[in-house]
Structure 1
Amino acid sequence: MREIILNGEWEVKGFWPWVPLKGTSMEIGSELMGVTEWLPASVPGGVHKDLHAAGWIDHPYRDMNSLNCEWVENRWWVYKTVFQVPDEPGKKIELVCKGLDYEAIVMLDGQTLGEHANMFAPAAFDVTEALRGRQTAELRIVLRHSPDEMGQIGKTSETFTQKSRFNYKWDFSTRLVHIGLWDEVSLRVHEPFSFEAIGLFTDADEKGGRIAIEASICRKRPDHASEAEKQECGAADSGGEYGTCELEARILSPSGEVVTTLRQPFKQKSCSLAVDIPQPLLWFPNGYGEQPLYTVRLRLSDGDKVLDEQTHRTGIRRLEYRRNEGAPDDSLPYTFVVNGVPIYIRGANLTPLDHLYGNVQDEKYVWMAEAAARANMNMLRVWGGGLIEKEILYESCDRLGLLVWQEFIQSSSGIDNEPSKKPEFLKRLTETAEHALRTKRNHVSLAVWSGGNELMSEPDRPSTFADPNLAMLRELVAEHDPGRLFLPTSASGPVQYITREKGVSHDVHGHWKYEGNPAHYSLYGEADHLFHSEFGVDGVSSPRTLRKYLSEPHLKPVSMRDDPVWRHHGEWWDTYDRDTEMFGEFRDLSEFSRASQWMQAEGLRFILEANRRRQFKNSGSLVWQLNEPWPNASCTNLIDYGLEPKMAYYWTKNAFAPNHAALHYRTLDYSVGETFEGEVFFFHGSERSLFIVHTELLDTNGAVLASWKHQAAKSRANVTESGPLRFEVPDTADDLFYVRLRAEDTEAKIDTAQADNLYVFSVRRLHPYRSALGSAGAKLDAEALGEWQEIARNPNDQQSETDLPTLRRSYRIVNTGTTVALHVHPQEMTEAYRLLADDAYFSLFPGEEKIVTVDCAALIPDVFGAKNDQAQADAPRSPNPRVAFVHFGDPDR
């Protein structure tokens, strides 16, 4: 089979509904010209990008411009292209549309091939006869207006499409409904037989590794074949229905050497074979080992004639599931075990990367997956209100060791959350599920399927397999991917939301706000859930991102109650009252953003450390959310739309570090002379080593008021409670005091940089962190250690063409001032690069220094091509990044 991507010149034009099928007026006979002219079109892509490029709409992500774009989803759109017909006489040629979004009529040279309504299942049409004798042909795809589906608020039971719902309006997105060809359009030229489906399944035990291959083929005879073509496609009847078709599997090691080649004849539609790999290189999740990938080259042949070929990359590993330690008998298995090693899940939820998901560059997928891996994550949950994502995401997860939790396309709706039973919906859901199962099962990173997001048959009670919808999906998973866990929904119960009630929480969601001081600490510090698959804390985006998408009048600290533009960019995530309660009033946007991000990071860190203290009674945490699909003024994301990692990203990275010291405390504010009560914990990585945790009590000037040592010997669950921490709360000049934990590996084998931790407390009841806003005594000196060096960003990726050069440089940062420099982090000042550091938002007391390594790569524009404001866009691009280090008390930069 040969695939020809139709990536030539495309055009798109908008019409009123039904006009493309009528063409001329019934009354006066004149041409119905349409809403727009024919415009250059991006395929894969979406209409909004093309309209913006042609000047028909303003940038939808700025201020409230998206409200002026809602007409787009209510028009019909016609895509057209002219392509060269492949010269393949006697072969079956299919037109395949991988991503029709949403209801489409497909026409070839004016003749209707068929209709399709599912953006996650491809549409395929036999065009062999229609193309016979032609050199060129015109393809037109008519997209009806977007269906009237529901956003976040509605009735799940009334859902009737398999269209991504988040861009009908969700708490982290506006209403901007994608319409277009969001994936490739191609011609597939088939020999008499082609692969229909491939299944790759790997396993390992003490005897070695194994790659099992299941292949099914189908006869690719043209629908209107001649007698000669029928005879050719039938192969030799004497050889059976499938003639002398044979499967050849060639396995290459991660370094490229041929391990073995096996062959198996097709005696029926399907055949299978298993390849034993002695002494295999095992694939582990990120942080637990390496991710070697074997290449599997599959060839379908008939004698000396090659009929079809496919190449896959997979890892060898054993994947198992266990109940948590001490879990009730009726609980589901939430502990993932890879190669016999229990994996504590440290991950995040992934939303679609953009409202206009058809226009997302592969490079953005690669970068987002790398950012997750660099944050010590080992799992991404692909959320059920979004997408069955493009292959590049799963390939990246394979390379980086990120396990994938994949949900089918269903989500809660608020008014009712019961899975839809509509026959039309179940038909479409089946199409989506079967296609997803047949393609995603071949990725070693895929670890679990879920029926959808927050499906509930009654309030606060997740749906179970008793629901016919979910029972149907369970049967499909059992048929196509029987070795993987299938959860009915996320959360999977028996209660939906985290609660103070004991004994009822297995897999739970919530909450998504800082719960207040001290309520936040008692709720999460005393929780007993088995798994935490969604929770978050909100924080304001970086000023740099806000300046790109909000106009000047809105670039100030404000409550969303008082500014409709801020409300339009994140209504649910108003942190103004929370942050002014902690800090008092803010002087400018930068101060507000930094304070808000501090509270987000503080709240998330405590949840992550509280969950991890109970490893493996609690088996993992998935932060809501890693990213966002449009520029919110405030949100629960770790990385904002401008690809600026927030403080919470780096504090999450540290909380997820293999070796990490943590403090359990009950509140942020105390009275002078009160006894501080806490406990010191140490989380161990896979190394067998003895750690000492040095605990210090400091004031803002860096004076050590008291110190302790706690030993952290490795325990069975890789968590050590090193000892209690008790002291009398001091009276300091600015009302702030600090507890710092610093880890020392007694055998000097492990870099403990991410093991350190600093906690900030106050003796003020009103605005406890107010004094931190005035830390003017800190002064940073940054010295570059050498020149920028070009590096390969992803050494595990042997085949990717999306990895652009990344520049790396190290800096020595010294606090030469008289007070603590809080939350020191690098900023790239030219705004032409995106930046990831090995550490950021750390604090330096007077005289202290730290070496930080930063990686910079060219900024990825948003889907409309905008990088920043017009003045910056017109400025000459800097040949190299320019990095500055700032701290919490610095003026707005």
Structure 2
Amino acid sequence: MMRQTLHEDWLLSTTRGPVPEEIAGRSVPAQVPGSAHTDLLAAGLIGDPYLDTAETDLAWAHRTSWRYTCTFEADAPRPGERVDLAFDGLDTIAEVRLNGRLLGGTANMHRAYRFDVREALRGGANELTVDFSPALEYAERERERLGHRPHTNAHPYNMVRKMACSFGWDWGPDLQTAGIWKPVRLERWRGARITGVRPLVTVDGRGTGRVEAHVGVEHAGPGGSGGGLVLAVRVAGRETRVAVPAGADEAVAVVEVPEARLWWPVGYGDQPLYDLDVTLSEQAAGGREAAGGSEAEADTVHRRIGFRTVDVDTSPDEIGARFTVTVNGRPIAVKGANWIPDDHFLTRITRERLARRVDQALGAHMNMLRVWGGGIYETDDFYDVCDERGVLVWQDFALACASYPEEEPLAAEFEAEARENVARLSSHPSLAVWNGGNENLWGFADWGWPEALAGRTWGEHYYYELFPRVVAELDPTRPYVDGSPCSPGHRPGELHPNDPEHGCRHEWQVWNQVDYTHYRDTVPRFCAEFGFQGPPTWTTLTDWIHDSPLTPTSPAFLLHQKAGDGNGKLHRGMEGHLPVPDDFADWHWATQLNQARAVAFGVEHFRSWWPRTSGTLVWQLNDCWPVTSWAAVDGDERPKPLYYSLRRAYAPRLLTFQPRDGGLALIAVNDTGEAWSGHVRLQRQNFAGEVLDTTKIELSVQARSAARLDPAESLTTPADPGKELLVAATDDARTVHTFREDPELAYDPEPLSAVATAVPEGYRVDVRARSFARDVAVLADRAAPDAEVDDMLVPMLAGETRSFTVRTGARIDPGELTAPLVLRCANGLSVHAAGPA
């Protein structure tokens, strides 16, 4: 197999559409993989789409057609040689021509394409052209042909197989990319090639690993290989060789590995990975059988695998039905977040960026990421990073918040992309769950779809027939669930898909309708989505938005707030919990703080009910651009205050005060493999630090379990609720409970003193509290754009000192790190409150 990458010397131009005069008729250098937007940006013909209100200035691109062209040198096909043009991904509606000959058309971003070019390729210079027409217009034509199907957002994204959030979302821009978004190459081969490797990896009760490698084979011609083909599969120094039957398009080789080291999620064990090497060879005509003889290597594939078993326990119990992820037979307390594409312009996402993001998830004690269905089937780079770090992945099929036609050509496209991606990702041990899609079952049950559909198809066939059949056929080692949310085993109309006592639930009444304390109204079996908004970090916000004055209602700020009534929900979400400031800097801090508190409130509630609630996936870990959103890490990769509160709420050992049976209980959650024993020290003290009551309670929590402790009534009954707090601490965990919300607390508005000094890694900020200071934070990016603090939102008791480390490569005045807008706590907000907005 000879491969010639075709990534150089591309040009981009427009061929029709409402194109601005300064762009029409021009050709600019194009990067492949890439997109039309990023090429125009590199050429200086458009402003950065993320900057200020530039997004609206680029709406013309929605209805523009694009042409990519390149010239490459190649030898003419030789007798008996097969030559293919392979595209790993085209976004989205495209026609491909080589030397003027139409090779074919595409209409699915989520799959690869391959064209036999023996008739079109010539020796010397060859011209390759890819014409893209607007995905929006294709979708609109399909809507007219098939009839309207309900969906969220403005555009009929459910009529075309393109990343749904490319058309905008309540956290993302509406930019509708087009381009060659994955690698393209010319492949020359003889005899046969490997079309795919699909390893089914299992472990038996004796600890023997078993790899059943299904290897796809394509023959160059109808006669096949004159001497026959031999398939060799090697794992851990063990090799199995099998003869490929004449004309067969698949061969299977089984390799057993005794005493295989098990792959575990992070926090449960190690992540050993094994090399899987697959070789397809041709025997010389008249050669001996597969055990030997003269062979010529035809094709090779390398993968990495991990030995483990994975399942989702959805068995009924006395409450309803479980939803517990198990790995190697052990229940896993899932602590994680939802994942969206890490940049709206997908080709800018590097393996290094993915590694940084997954490391941030690990830094917040997460062990699962859910790849949300309005994005993409994530890349092998993403999965490689998760394999190496032990982060489980829940992968949605690429459907979200819409009804989808079951007619052709969409039906065939869904099957093709499902088969391709299930097979492609089968080698990755981190892949734990295939899920039918995002909120489509819920939409049919609750959002008025049946009336709007009037009997038209909506996707039921995909969730209950196609996807489970494809997973069962191609990767039976992994579980499939019907959707998120869903009540497994029940279709809409039988049991509500968002029933809290069955399966997985999304909790969006909080944020949309009710106060975040209502997280406690339900005890779901698994909460796959919940969250609260907050703006990005100050530096990210002010790098991209330049309104003057900058306010929550200034034009560019509002364009970067995509949620319906987003600012209204931010304000209503603060009422009763925090003062609502009128100064923008204070408003920015208060909304970030409220986001952090709201989500941590939910996480701690859900975790306190382990194992009844078996997991939580916060919406969301990351952003795809600079925006006010639910993310913990903003679009410029900076952690927001929410990130630090998640790290505390997801800690392996957690103490949390929770209401139980009309009183206040202390729940100790132990998500480690060792028993947690010792004593909990409890104190009721006033904000000045005077201890009013104290005791010790014996602590004994088994591994991977939770225990309830009941403090004495004297500890939980304050004499002055506005000036007292309850503290519970062990050697490795602490929690603080106030008896009123912030507007009713008699905080010292300026409780901190601090000194910053230079240290080798940056700066150390030594902070002392003379009175109780809640949620102490060093907003380090305000002092230097690259600065990041090691911890944040720390409650400090009167008399306590705490050192924060700020890592930065910049030289800054240490005094900036103790300035009022950098060193903050919740106390000061009461000074600047404006009342309800």
TM-score by length of 1: 0.80
User: CA 1:87–1:287 in 2, change beyond 3 Å: closer, same or farther?
Assistant: farther
Given the alignment of the two structures, is residue 460 of structure 1 paired with residue 446 of structure 2, yes or no?
A: yes
User: CA 1:612–1:161 in 2, change beyond 3 Å: closer, same or farther?
Assistant: same
| Secondary structure of 1:436 counterpart | helix
CA distance, structure 2, for counterparts of residue 371 and residue 588 of structure 1: 31
Matched AA of 2:308: R
Matched AA of 2:539: R
Give runs of aligned pairs for residues 313-462 of structure 1, distance below 5 A. 313-323=304-314, 326=317, 331=321, 334-413=323-402, 418-456=403-441, 458-460=444-446
| Secondary structure of 2:548 counterpart | helix
User: CA 1:323–1:504 in 2, change beyond 3 Å: closer, same or farther?
Assistant: closer
2:234 matched residue in structure 1: 250
CA contact (8 A) 1:820 1:846 kept: yes
Given the alignment of the two structures, is residue 542 of structure 1 paired with residue 537 of structure 2, yes or no?
A: yes
1:636 matched residue in structure 2: 630
Matched AA of 2:697: H
1:480 matched residue in structure 2: 474
Q: CA deviation at 1:466?
A: 10
Given the alignment of the two structures, is residue 617 of structure 1 paired with residue 612 of structure 2, yes or no?
A: yes
CA contact (8 A) 2:93 2:132 kept: yes
Matched AA of 1:346: K
Given the alignment of the two structures, is residue 295 of structure 1 paired with residue 275 of structure 2, yes or no?
A: yes
CA distance, structure 2, for counterparts of residue 450 and residue 615 of structure 1: 23
Q: CA deviation at 1:205?
A: 3.9
1:275 matched residue in structure 2: 255
Give runs of aligned pairs for residues 97-176 of structure 1, distance below 5 A. 97-132=87-122, 134-148=123-137, 149=139, 153=152, 159-176=158-175
CA contact (8 A) 2:531 2:619 kept: yes
User: CA 1:881–1:295 in 2, change beyond 3 Å: closer, same or farther?
Assistant: farther
Given the alignment of the two structures, is residue 566 of structure 1 paired with residue 558 of structure 2, yes or no?
A: yes
User: CA 1:190–1:501 in 2, change beyond 3 Å: closer, same or farther?
Assistant: closer
CA contact (8 A) 1:678 1:725 kept: no
2:650 matched residue in structure 1: 656
From 506, 509, 515, the equivalent of 1:509 is 506
From 647, 650, 671, the equivalent of 2:641 is 647
Given the alignment of the two structures, is residue 678 of structure 1 paired with residue 664 of structure 2, yes or no?
A: yes
CA contact (8 A) 1:540 1:593 kept: yes
Given the alignment of the two structures, is residue 309 of structure 1 paired with residue 309 of structure 2, yes or no?
A: no
User: CA 1:430–1:397 in 2, change beyond 3 Å: closer, same or farther?
Assistant: same
User: CA 1:829–1:305 in 2, change beyond 3 Å: closer, same or farther?
Assistant: farther
CA distance, structure 1, for counterparts of residue 367 and residue 815 of structure 2: 32
CA contact (8 A) 2:770 2:798 kept: yes
CA contact (8 A) 1:778 1:821 kept: no
User: CA 1:87–1:327 in 2, change beyond 3 Å: closer, same or farther?
Assistant: farther
Structure 2 unaligned spans of 5+: 141-149, 284-294, 451-456, 830-837
Matched AA of 1:397: C
1:608 matched residue in structure 2: 603
CA distance, structure 2, for counterparts of residue 743 and residue 324 of structure 1: 36
User: CA 1:278–1:655 in 2, change beyond 3 Å: closer, same or farther?
Assistant: same
The range that moved more, 35-44 or 208-217, is: 208-217
**Aligned residues, how many?**
782
| Secondary structure of 2:596 counterpart | helix
CA distance, structure 2, for counterparts of residue 435 and residue 567 of structure 1: 37
| Secondary structure of 1:317 counterpart | coil
| Secondary structure of 1:631 counterpart | coil
Given the alignment of the two structures, is residue 61 of structure 1 paired with residue 46 of structure 2, yes or no?
A: no
CA contact (8 A) 1:781 1:815 kept: no
- 1:26-66, Cα deviation, whole Å (9 max, x unpaired): xxxxxx99824111212111111121222322222122221
CA contact (8 A) 2:534 2:592 kept: yes
| Secondary structure of 1:71 counterpart | helix
CA contact (8 A) 2:776 2:795 kept: yes
The range that moved more, 86-95 or 111-120, is: 86-95
CA distance, structure 1, for counterparts of residue 192 and residue 812 of structure 2: 53
- 1:732-767, Cα deviation, whole Å (9 max, x unpaired): 7xx4543333223xxxxxxx2xx3233444367xx3
The range that moved more, 187-196 or 306-315, is: 187-196
CA contact (8 A) 1:198 1:215 kept: yes
| Secondary structure of 1:539 counterpart | coil
1:718 matched residue in structure 2: 705
CA distance, structure 2, for counterparts of residue 879 and residue 582 of structure 1: 35
- 1:674-731, Cα deviation, whole Å (9 max, x unpaired): x994110111121123142223334333333333323331247610112246332243
User: CA 1:855–1:302 in 2, change beyond 3 Å: closer, same or farther?
Assistant: farther
Matched AA of 1:70: A
1:865 matched residue in structure 2: none
CA contact (8 A) 1:696 1:707 kept: yes
Given the alignment of the two structures, is residue 599 of structure 1 paired with residue 594 of structure 2, yes or no?
A: yes
Given the alignment of the two structures, is residue 776 of structure 1 paired with residue 750 of structure 2, yes or no?
A: yes
User: CA 1:683–1:156 in 2, change beyond 3 Å: closer, same or farther?
Assistant: farther
CA distance, structure 2, for counterparts of residue 533 and residue 849 of structure 1: 38
Structure 1 unaligned spans of 5+: 20-31, 223-229, 237-242, 253-258, 667-674, 745-751, 789-808, 858-876
The range that moved more, 579-588 or 569-578, is: 579-588
Q: CA deviation at 1:526?
A: 4.1
From 824, 832, 835, the equivalent of 1:888 is 824
- 1:424-472, Cα deviation, whole Å (9 max, x unpaired): 2111111111111110111111111111111137333999999322212
Matched AA of 1:589: F
Q: CA deviation at 1:83?
A: 2.1
CA distance, structure 1, for counterparts of residue 22 and residue 651 of structure 2: 60
CA distance, structure 2, for counterparts of residue 62 and residue 92 of structure 1: 47
Matched AA of 2:133: R
User: CA 1:612–1:11 in 2, change beyond 3 Å: closer, same or farther?
Assistant: same
| Secondary structure of 1:592 counterpart | helix
CA contact (8 A) 2:264 2:271 kept: yes
1:52 matched residue in structure 2: 41
CA RMSD in angstroms comes to 3.6
User: CA 1:495–1:529 in 2, change beyond 3 Å: closer, same or farther?
Assistant: farther
Q: CA deviation at 1:641?
A: 1.3
Q: CA deviation at 1:112?
A: 1.6
CA distance, structure 1, for counterparts of residue 317 and residue 366 of structure 2: 25
CA contact (8 A) 1:62 1:550 kept: yes
Given the alignment of the two structures, is residue 8 of structure 1 paired with residue 8 of structure 2, yes or no?
A: yes
Q: CA deviation at 1:605?
A: 1.4
User: CA 1:50–1:204 in 2, change beyond 3 Å: closer, same or farther?
Assistant: same
User: CA 1:646–1:710 in 2, change beyond 3 Å: closer, same or farther?
Assistant: farther
Q: CA deviation at 1:844?
A: 2.6
Matched AA of 2:626: P
Q: CA deviation at 1:639?
A: 1.2
